Amino acid sequence: MTHLESLALRFTHTPHQTELWILDQTLLPLKEKWVQLTTVGEVIEAIKTLKVRGAPLIGVVAALGLGQSAIKGTCLKQLENEAQALYAARPTAVNLMTCMNRMIAGIRSNKSPEALLSIAIELFTEDLALCEAIAQNGAELIASGDHILTHCNTGGLATAGIGTALGVIRKCHQQGKQVHVYVDETRPLLQGARLTTWELKKLDIPYTLITDNMAGHLMQQNKVQKIIVGCDRIAANGDFANKIGTYSLAVLAQYHTIPFYVAGPYTTMDWHCADGSRIPIEQRKASEVSGISGAFGHICWATQDTQIYNPAFDVTPAELVSGWILDCGVFTKTDFKQRKVIQYMPLLAEQVS
């Protein structure tokens, strides 16, 4: 019997039954509701509606959903179709594509259903270790007494493990360092206000919730010593995509000479993507913004063709980043300029070659 459990994911496999359950993150923090995903279609819907979210978790849940489909007897041809549909569920977080590529390689090698499920289970257990390594590497950069600003949600709700940026903060707390977290609410879907505060409260880590537009003021008041954010795709030159509003924080951090770090696993690296201009940015429906302020009608950013756009991510250039906290180490701009990072990622190096 296989039983996998994380903050937002539960998976069991016995010879006669496979169950995939996720914690519906759209209902947090007011309601903790577990939802069973029995088909790939349900997994895709959960990813698109952010019931399941966070770059690493999206990839792991997609892989487990595909492995479940294989165990249920879906033929290899249909499995590849399902993998392609999962691959396209959300365009920015490259972990989804990384995980699907590993599953597709198994499908094209005619692997058995159990072997395909094993690949998915490996992706889950690998992420546990990647999160732990990121946390260890990042904690060395944090001093006791630091006030750390973070954006969106990058904890156990975004990964299979303890998280990326929030995993670093959790590790510092575990090590006995006195840290205080400023949590950006992160409009429009409020991952910070709803999810990061929920995680920090459970971990008993002190925090202050702020509106996104308070961040600059806090920096101006010298109340922020470090900024750590997550990532959805890191390009070969170190530019990275993350939740909308991250770029603004990076610019403010540079102006206020505050160290600005991005944390993520190697599965969020995309060596095929030369720089941030190549990263696809997910556009989400306008009602995610206007829905809250519906009284003001369409307050979204409109373009000349009257389309309404709601970009879910933005791209931060490498020049604004103080350090990349990865599972294989902490890297600098020079490391990326000299392409030193890829040598630490043999698996990805194979993919790129």
Active site residues: 232
Judge contact between 38 and 16, C-beta under 8 A: no
| Least distance between ligand LNRAV4D5 and beta carbon 240 (Å) | 10
Q: Which stretch binds ligand LNRAV4D5 (CB under 6 A): 4-12, 65-73, 156-164, 320-328?
A: 156-164
Judge contact between 135 and 167, C-beta under 8 A: yes
Instruction: Pick between residue 106 and residue 184 the one whose CB is nearest to ligand LNRAV4D5.
Output: 184
- Check whether 242 is labelled as a binding-site residue: yes
| Least distance between ligand LNRAV4D5 and beta carbon 214 (Å) | 19
Residue whose structure tokens are 């630091």: 146
| 327 near ligand LNRAV4D5 (CB under 6 A) | no
The answer to whether the peptide bond before residue 188 is cis (omega within 30 degrees of 0) is: yes
Judge contact between 22 and 51, C-beta under 8 A: yes
| 137 near ligand LNRAV4D5 (CB under 6 A) | no
| 164 near ligand LNRAV4D5 (CB under 6 A) | yes
Q: Which stretch binds ligand LNRAV4D5 (CB under 6 A): 132-140, 154-162, 177-185, 208-216?
A: 154-162
Phi then psi dihedrals of residue 335, to 5 deg: -55, -40
| 152 near ligand LNRAV4D5 (CB under 6 A) | yes
Task: Look at phi and psi of residue 160 and say left if phi exceeds 0, alpha if psi is from -120 to 50, else beta.
Answer: alpha
| 6 near ligand LNRAV4D5 (CB under 6 A) | no
| Least distance between ligand LNRAV4D5 and beta carbon 22 (Å) | 13
| 56 near ligand LNRAV4D5 (CB under 6 A) | yes
- Check whether 226 is labelled as a binding-site residue: no
CA-closest candidate to residue 90, choices 121, 45, 156: 45
| 54 near ligand LNRAV4D5 (CB under 6 A) | yes
Residues 277-316 contacting ligand LNRAV4D5, CB under 6 A: 312
Instruction: Pick between residue 43 and residue 116 the one whose CB is nearest to ligand LNRAV4D5.
Output: 43
- What residue number has its CB nearest to ligand LNRAV4D5? 230
Residues 220-239 contacting ligand LNRAV4D5, CB under 6 A: 230, 232
| Least distance between ligand LNRAV4D5 and beta carbon 338 (Å) | 26
Out of 159, 267, 290, 316, the residue judged to bind ligand LNRAV4D5 by CB under 6 A: 159
Q: Where do contacts with ligand LNRAV4D5 occur on this chain (CB under 6 A)? A: 53-56, 152, 154, 158-159, 164, 191, 230, 232, 242-243, 312
